């Protein structure tokens, strides 16, 4: 069912779609989460949101552990009680080879459901907090480059366009320089 999932690449417009809440908690949801973790690990990422693999549901997977053995799965995540501010140097599997510094909340309380639909709440800080915020942005159709000032964004767009020009077009991806 989810064997052929691929990470969508900017500027693919599908990355801008809003995700819908998960209402059904079943084996297909678990299979999708497992496949997303597999793709994330294979891509050397620390987080992946369902929209990045063309699934418009509110599901994210994260693993910020050094040994890559502590996967977290958050369904319908919502940030509550954000506090503090931290500069975060970020990259993204959907915007490869680009890194930039943006401001994130230092601490958040995350309200979410697990794969069985059980509602949970957890306080997050450090890299886990930053990663979860980044992935939730994907659920809302936002990319980390949306946070950078216009001048810096123009330079990033040129760099992205140049790297895209040197790559073959991937079927199913709309390449448009903006």
The answer to whether 130 and 90 are in contact (CB under 8 A) is yes
Catalytic residue among 13, 122, 135, 171: 135
6 is catalytic: no
- For residue 91, which of 144, 129, 155, 14 has the smallest C-alpha distance? 144
Residue appearing with tokens 């809302």: 140
Could you count the other beta carbons within 10 Å of the beta carbon of residue 56?
14
Structure tokens at 75: 């369904």
Residue 140 φ then ψ, to 5°: -100, 15
Structure tokens at 113: 């459901």
Q: What is the DSSP annotation of 110-176? A: EEEE-TT--EEEEEEEHHHHHHHHHHHHHHTT--GGGGS-HHHHHHHHHHHHHHHHTSPPPTT----
Could you count the other beta carbons within 10 Å of the beta carbon of residue 63?
21
Query: Which residues form the catalytic set?
Result: 135
């Amino acid at each position: 069912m989810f064997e052929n999932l691929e990470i969508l690449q900017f500027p693919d417009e599908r990355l801008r779609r809003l995700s819908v809440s998960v209402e059904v908690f079943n084996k297909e949801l678990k299979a999708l989460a497992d496949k997303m973790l597999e793709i994330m690990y294979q891509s050397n990422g620390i987080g992946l949101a369902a929209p990045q693999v063309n699934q418009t549901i509110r599901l994210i997977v994260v693993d910020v552990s050094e040994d890559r053995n502590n996967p977290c799965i958050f369904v319908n995540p919502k940030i509550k009680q954000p506090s503090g501010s931290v500069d975060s140097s970020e990259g993204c599997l959907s915007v490869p080879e680009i890194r930039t510094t943006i401001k994130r909340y230092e601490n958040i309380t995350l309200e979410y459901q697990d794969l069985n639909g059980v509602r949970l709440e957890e306080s997050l800080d450090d890299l886990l907090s930053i990663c979860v915020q980044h992935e939730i942005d994907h659920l809302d159709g936002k990319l980390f480059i949306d946070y950078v000032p216009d001048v810096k964004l123009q330079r990033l767009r040129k760099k992205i366009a140049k790297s895209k020009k040197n790559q073959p077009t991937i079927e199913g991806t709309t390449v448009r320089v903006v």
